[in-house]
A = this chain, B = another copy of it.
Amino acid sequence: MLKDLTITEFLEKTASAEPLPGGGCTAALNAALAASLTEMVANLTIGRKEFQAVEDEMKEIAQTAAGLSKKLQNDIDDDARAYQEVLAAFKLPKNTDDEKKQRAGAIQKAFKNAATVPLGVARDALKIMDLASRAVAKGNQNAVTDGAVGVLVSRTAALAAIYNVKVNLSAIKDPDFVKELAREVEALESQVIEKEKQILDPLKI
């Protein structure tokens, strides 16, 4: 799996003239990174006398962030697999009318999945922004920069995932599906941009 590659291997594979791993995988990886930075801020707070009042909240943040990081690590591969399925669908035979119909259906199904995977990443990245915001506001102030970086990274993870939803939507012919997802990513996009400002501006870093 891609998450089992070393950093150097993953970067080399990204850089190569193969389309995978691409921007969608980067989005999932970035969301996982943001989750892990958030978990770190919580972990650097837990067990310290001066933060006893927020001990339970920090434990909950650490646990939720750890779960999201694990899920998002798998999304790196899910995103790659979804794109591979699109490519595979295009390679299906198209000699008869029946084959053409089946191929067209497989292509549409694959594009829908390729739009749905990054939509999940964008949703999770937004959740991570909220977790990071709480960790930064109430957690160990020595780690505030790490939490702030988590916010920046989750913002970019969400926007990158949204780009990948949009590019796949442009190939989907089901107007209801397109309308629903387009509406959701538009809302997510505004929330992400607004939230980044709301969290980071008051920190005055």
What's the nearest-Cβ distance from chain B to residue A42, in Å? 9
Interface size of A by Cβ–Cβ distance < 8 Å? 55
Task: From the candidates B19, B26, B69, name the one contacting A15 in the complex (CB within 8 A).
Answer: B69
Task: From the candidates B2, B32, B39, B163, name the one contacting A149 in the complex (CB within 8 A).
Answer: B163
Contact yes or no, B37 A14, CB < 8 A: yes
Main secondary structure of the interface of A (DSSP, over half): helix
Number of this chain's copies in the complex: 2
Q: Kindly state whether residue A120 has any CB partner on chain B within 8 Å.
A: no
What's the nearest-Cβ distance from chain B to residue A32, in Å? 6
Per the 8 Å Cβ criterion, residues 154-205 of A in contact with B are 155-156, 159-160, 163-164, 166-167, 205
What's the nearest-Cβ distance from chain B to residue A76, in Å? 7
Q: Kindly state whether residue A145 has any CB partner on chain B within 8 Å.
A: yes
Question: How would residues 9 to 40 of chain A score, 1 for a CB under 8 Å from any chain B CB and 0 otherwise?
Answer: 01110111101001100110110110111011
